[in-house]
Every structure is written in C-alpha cells, then in structure tokens.
Structure 1
C-alpha cells in the first residue's frame, strides 16, 4: 500500500485522461467543418461523398497526430487553432482558384 505504481501515477497526471467524454469528437467535427467551409469558399463547389469521406479521414488523422504529440490540453487546442489559421491563410477566399470540372478531375484515363 505505498505510493502508486509509476504507470498509475503517469496515467493520473496525463492531461488526456481529463478530457470530457465526446470532447475530441467535437474538436474533430469542428476541424472538419471549418476546413470544409474554407474549401468550399475557395473552390466554389461542393465535393462528392468520396472526397468528403477522404477529407474527414485526413482531418481525423491530423487531430490524432496533434493529440499524440501535445504535452497539455492548451498546447493541443492551440495547435488545432494554428492549423485552422494556416488553412485560412493558405486558401484565402478573396482569390479563388478557377472552378474545376469534376468529371475531368475523376476521369482516370488522364
């Protein structure tokens, strides 16, 4: 009955154990929604289900990487916010790219 084992102590002090249930899902959903809003404003077209599914996976992977590498919850949230800011500055809505014909984009014969 002495002090807790190192594993138990490490788990108790890990910030990840303090996150509210569903908290990460809300962050993932918000990251996806904001990134899609930026995409649509920039490209002026809505992607199909296949692209949406792929984009959702990319945003999930990004969140997972940030979550694993963060040393604290504030660092986690700050890094998420910085990534959204990067997306906003990389894809400004003032100078959109020309609209791409979605049929030629998915044509595998090119």
Structure 2
C-alpha cells in the first residue's frame, strides 16, 4: 500500500475548499494538534494529504475524514436540506505548523 500515487497539481489545488474556523475545530487543533479543512465530497485521503503538503509546504502524518449530513431546514410549508459536507482532520508531523494569518 506504500505505492506512490501521482495526482495532477490542478486537481490538488481544488481539493481543499477552506479551513474550518469554529469552536470545535479550535479545540481539536489545541488538544490533538490537528487542522480541520472543508474538502470536496469526492476527495480521498491521499489526495488531501498531497494537497496540504503542496499548498502549505508541511509534512502530514495522517488524515481522517468525516462526512457531515446537511441540516434539515423548513421555509413555510417547504422542507429542504443544506448541502452535505466533508471535513478532513489533518495531523501534521512533529514540529510542523500552518499559520493562516501569515498571508493576510
């Protein structure tokens, strides 16, 4: 399973949608030293790992993903649902960190 997987750079640029900035994501970041990203629904763990390493120039130790169902919403008599999302919990290797405020 240690085969080197080649991904197109164009695809990797689209895999990560946004970092998740929430109370829960901040707790996870402090406790488990992980960073939470919103990713494309069809993204795989190797793609997410390659994308983070390419974009942020860090080494990734592991990736865990969670599929989240969109909330059921109602407007008047119409029922609807928000879009489903996929989140990636990225664990960086010892001594690595991503600073999001650096480019601002």
- The structure richer in helix per residue is 1
- The structure richer in strand per residue is 2
TM-score (norm 1): 0.25
The one of the two structures with greater contact order (alpha-carbon pairs below 8 A, sep at least 6) is 1
TM-score (norm 2): 0.26
